Chain A
Amino acid sequence: MPSAPVLSTSAAPDGRAEALLAAFDRAGYARVAPAILQPAEPFLDLSGEDIRKRMYLTTDPQGHELCLRPDLTIPVSRHYLASPAAGKAQSFCYLGPVFRHRESEPSEFLQAGIESFGRPDTAAADAEMLALGIEATAHYGLDQPDIRVGDVALFSALVAALDLAPAWKRRLIKDFNHKTSLAHDLDRLTISVSRARSDYQGVLAALAGSDPKGAHALVTDLLSIAGITTVGGRSVGEIADRFLEQAALGAQTSLPRDSRTLIEKFLAIRGDPDEAAADLRAFARDAGIALDAALDLFESRTGFLAARGLDIGRIRFSTAFGRGLDYYTGFVFELHDPAARAEGQLVAGGRYDGLLTRLGSARAIAAVGFAVWIERLAALRERS
């Protein structure tokens, strides 16, 4: 039998962590302490079913699924949405235990962090997060962490600009969000041609060249004649849309060569943010693709970082860098120990402008933040 896992290393936040929170508080981030017991639904919905096996779940007598919070981003976001300040600019900091089953580290561990909502000054807010993240590592004696950054919005802008079928665009965005490096997967990236497609091949080919509105009406009518109405949340219109998309896709099962070449070139761009921006401008110009809005924001952010006194040359940007969560929409970053004494990131975060809508907000609210792994930082000293 395996030995019982170590569940927790820390009874309570130590003085050093409290001092970090006090510093965040002085910087204008109001301290919040959401409940440890949280409804499980938002975590499963936003982080995916895969997180379920790492969560500590329970059920109340009414059958509602509850969990020990696996992170604080979602609880703080829900706290904000339920508060009178919802929709207005408001920033929070937090410190407390989170619970995630982990193989080689305790499952109860401390996270500190910041979440900032509703700020219209996107680039400045992004830069402030990275700067505060570096302050957190410095607070624990690590002044010069390894800084890795990415920008999900650049890849989204690229995919939007490519001349690709909607199915391809969905696939690329999804894979970028769930893989650490998409570049290696482009080879294997195929869209299946199912057997049934060849059954319908003649019909699909005929529809492919026809007037889209007429084709859509025909498929919708055929489904109605068959007595099929909405079953299970997908409307007849949605089914018809995708059926016709498949027709347009035809027999093409792998990524078109020209698009693939562009994606590979794009994902190869890396370096410090200034170098990368120059490369990206050149790439966009050569490819005849408009990445202006995303690049303007990128450069503006770099400007704010420089203004905060960060050495831009020490920031390692990569177009392929993502954080493996589909709620990030823009800037993402991780801070690591250059001596690799800690397992995994010390600080990590980014921009998640879509999250509050998915948590029920009627309108989009900008959001950016990061989390700090307290025990990993505290252990650096012992291991040095």
Chain B
Amino acid sequence: MTTPFVIAVPAKGRLQANMEAFFARAGLELVKPRGVRDYRGTIADLPGIEVAHLSAAEVVDLLAQGAVHLGVTGEDLVREKIPDVDERVVLIDALGFGQANVAVAVPQAWIDVHSMADLDDVATAFRLKHERKMRVATKYANLTRSFFSTHGITDYRIVESAGATEGAPAAGTAELIVDITTTGATLAANALKVIEDGVILRSQANLVAARAAKWDEAERATARLVLDRIAAQTRARAFREVRTRFAGCDEALLADAKQQFGVEAPLGGPTSSGMLTLHCPPEHVHALATLLREKGAENVVVADLGYVFSRANPLYAKLEAGLA
């Protein structure tokens, strides 16, 4: 019996739109042949791959079980829901969207609390004064427990919170919270502040592989294909193409540009006529263009890249290493 290669992706919420755009840019167009409400889909030109559209939390569960091969979900959920992360999954790559911090937040009124060490002291003082432990509302019970443990905090209780965690202190159901925050606006609106060294995890959407899934030759070949497209796109987005041609363009100049701006020369060094194609990180494009003209270039042409396919496939290499 042949089982399909399954990629699980978030079906709704803040991750869904970003995820679809990400796959589309990589040339992996997600289609739902049986209509948009269907939770099973495919990839337009890659038969044999099934795409499961699920909640971000379900994606994590299936990855942990090995019921899917690859998945896209937030690192926060992966680390919260899978206690032995490295045993179960391979975090292949951060995808550059869905950024959010899991952080410890306390009432702004606590003017005496700035660090986790302060919180430790307050927790003990609270227990001694009130004969009960300070309550922490969160849906990240495991992350909270291990973070508090590394800071030596013992006098607290976790109150599981399903939603609207930031309202718990005002509602009187907890003293403080551990929650996800993007801009901090929701916390501020609820008169809460993040503790300085209280960021537990800087999370973003990740491409994750399940170690317990079936990884025979066929599955590895499929993963290689998918990861090749993603890598080509990731690489393309990380650089701008910079082209020029002038007599003074030589190896010494290339070495200088590499050292100053981290450029790469994907097609080799300058030709005998001084023609050079560079890949330059976007933030250094203007400085590089200035340098090239100072050295004699008449024109410097900069363009966005569509894809950069390389023989090396760093994402697949990471998967292979992780499965070993």
Give me the interface of A with B, judged by CB distance under 8 Å: 44-45, 48-50, 52-53, 166-167, 170-171, 173-175, 178, 191-192, 194-197, 223, 226, 228-234, 236, 238-239, 242-243, 246, 326, 357-358
Interchain nearest-CB distance for B126 vs A (Å): 7
Q: How far is the CA of A197 from the CA of B191 in the complex (A)?
A: 21
A45-B132, A242-B112 known; A191+B117 contact, CB < 8 A: yes
Contacts of A223 in B (CB 8 A): 109, 111
Q: Is residue B23 within 8 Å, beta carbon to beta carbon, of the partner chain?
A: no
Interchain nearest-CB distance for B171 vs A (Å): 9
Q: How far is the CA of A161 from the CA of B106 in the complex (A)?
A: 33
Q: How far is the CA of A167 from the CA of B112 in the complex (A)?
A: 12
Interchain nearest-CB distance for A69 vs B (Å): 19
- State whether A239 touches B115 (Cβ < 8 A): no
How many A-B contacts at CB < 8 Å in the complex?
Answer: 104
Interchain nearest-CB distance for B226 vs A (Å): 27
- State whether B118 touches A192 (Cβ < 8 A): yes
Contacts of B175 in A (CB 8 A): 232-234
Q: How far is the CA of A19 from the CA of B183 in the complex (A)?
A: 65
Q: How far is the CA of A264 from the CA of B78 in the complex (A)?
A: 45
Q: Is residue B47 within 8 Å, beta carbon to beta carbon, of the partner chain?
A: no
Chain B 141-176 interface residues, beta-carbon cutoff 8 Å to A: 141, 145, 148-149, 152, 154-158, 169-170, 172, 174-176
Interchain nearest-CB distance for A130 vs B (Å): 28
26 pairs of residues in contact across A and B, judged by CB atoms under 8 Å: A45-B132, A45-B133, A49-B154, A50-B145, A53-B145, A171-B121, A173-B124, A191-B117, A192-B118, A194-B115, A194-B118, A195-B114, A196-B196, A231-B108, A231-B109, A231-B170, A232-B169, A233-B130, A233-B134, A233-B175, A234-B107, A234-B110, A239-B109, A242-B122, A358-B131, A358-B132
- State whether B112 touches A239 (Cβ < 8 A): yes
Residue from B131, B154, B172 whose CB has the most chain A CB atoms within 10 Å:
B154
Given contacts A233-B135, A233-B175, A239-B110, 15 further A-B contacts (CB under 8 A): A45-B133, A48-B155, A49-B145, A49-B157, A166-B125, A167-B121, A171-B124, A194-B115, A196-B114, A196-B196, A223-B111, A231-B107, A231-B170, A232-B107, A232-B169
- State whether B157 touches A45 (Cβ < 8 A): yes
- State whether A50 touches B121 (Cβ < 8 A): no
- Which of chain A's residues has its CB closest to B106's CB? A232
- Which of chain B's residues has its CB closest to A233's CB? B175
Other-chain residue from A53, A231, A243 in contact with B112 (beta carbon distance below 8 A)? A243
- State whether B114 touches A239 (Cβ < 8 A): no
Contacts of B46 in A (CB 8 A): none
- State whether B125 touches A242 (Cβ < 8 A): yes
Residue from A45, A175, A192 whose CB has the most chain B CB atoms within 10 Å:
A192
Q: Is residue B128 within 8 Å, beta carbon to beta carbon, of the partner chain?
A: yes
- Which of chain A's residues has its CB closest to B171's CB? A232
Contacts of A192 in B (CB 8 A): 115, 117-118
Other-chain residue from A191, A195, A226, A234 in contact with B121 (beta carbon distance below 8 A)? A191
- State whether B129 touches A48 (Cβ < 8 A): no
Contacts of B196 in A (CB 8 A): 194-196
Interchain nearest-CB distance for B323 vs A (Å): 15
- State whether A178 touches B154 (Cβ < 8 A): yes
Q: How far is the CA of A326 from the CA of B145 in the complex (A)?
A: 18
Give me the interface of B with A, judged by CB distance under 8 Å: 106-112, 114-115, 117-118, 121-122, 124-126, 128-135, 141, 145, 148-149, 152, 154-158, 169-170, 172, 174-176, 191, 196
- State whether B114 touches A228 (Cβ < 8 A): no
Q: How far is the CA of A223 from the CA of B110 in the complex (A)?
A: 10
- Which of chain A's residues has its CB closest to B126's CB? A234
- State whether B148 touches A49 (Cβ < 8 A): yes
Interface of B is mostly: mixed
Q: How far is the CA of A173 from the CA of B120 in the complex (A)?
A: 13
Q: How far is the CA of A314 from the CA of B157 in the complex (A)?
A: 41
Q: How far is the CA of A232 from the CA of B149 in the complex (A)?
A: 22
Residue from B118, B126, B158 whose CB has the most chain A CB atoms within 10 Å:
B118
- State whether B154 touches A326 (Cβ < 8 A): yes
- State whether B191 touches A231 (Cβ < 8 A): yes
- State whether A234 touches B145 (Cβ < 8 A): no
Contacts of A52 in B (CB 8 A): 141, 145, 158
The 10 A-B pairs with the shortest beta carbon distances in the complex, nearest first, are A192-B117, A232-B169, A194-B114, A231-B107, A232-B175, A228-B109, A196-B114, A243-B112, A194-B115, A242-B112
- State whether B149 touches A50 (Cβ < 8 A): yes
Q: How far is the CA of A38 from the CA of B256 in the complex (A)?
A: 71
- State whether B158 touches A246 (Cβ < 8 A): no
Q: How far is the CA of A242 from the CA of B115 in the complex (A)?
A: 14
Q: How far is the CA of A56 from the CA of B158 in the complex (A)?
A: 16
- State whether A44 touches B122 (Cβ < 8 A): no
Contacts of B128 in A (CB 8 A): 170
Q: How far is the CA of A85 from the CA of B132 in the complex (A)?
A: 25
Contacts of B115 in A (CB 8 A): 192, 194
Contacts of A242 in B (CB 8 A): 112, 121-122, 125
Q: How far is the CA of A280 from the CA of B131 in the complex (A)?
A: 31
- Which of chain B's residues has its CB closest to A243's CB? B112
Contacts of B114 in A (CB 8 A): 194-197
- Which of chain A's residues has its CB closest to B173's CB? A232
Interchain nearest-CB distance for A186 vs B (Å): 15
- State whether B111 touches A243 (Cβ < 8 A): yes
Contacts of A194 in B (CB 8 A): 114-115, 117-118, 196
- State whether A238 touches B129 (Cβ < 8 A): yes
- Which of chain A's residues has its CB closest to B134's CB? A233
Q: How far is the CA of A236 from the CA of B108 in the complex (A)?
A: 12
- Which of chain B's residues has its CB closest to A246's CB? B112
Q: How far is the CA of A45 from the CA of B126 in the complex (A)?
A: 13
- State whether A234 touches B122 (Cβ < 8 A): yes
- Which of chain B's residues has its CB closest to A247's CB? B112
- Which of chain A's residues has its CB closest to B156's CB? A49
Q: How far is the CA of A196 from the CA of B134 in the complex (A)?
A: 23
Interchain nearest-CB distance for B192 vs A (Å): 9
Q: How far is the CA of A48 from the CA of B154 in the complex (A)?
A: 6
Contacts of A243 in B (CB 8 A): 111-112
Contacts of B141 in A (CB 8 A): 52
- State whether A357 touches B170 (Cβ < 8 A): no
- Which of chain A's residues has its CB closest to B142's CB? A53
Contacts of B154 in A (CB 8 A): 48-50, 174, 178, 326
- Which of chain B's residues has its CB closest to A228's CB? B109
Q: How far is the CA of A192 from the CA of B198 in the complex (A)?
A: 14
Q: How far is the CA of A375 from the CA of B9 in the complex (A)?
A: 49
- State whether A170 touches B125 (Cβ < 8 A): yes
Contacts of A48 in B (CB 8 A): 154-155
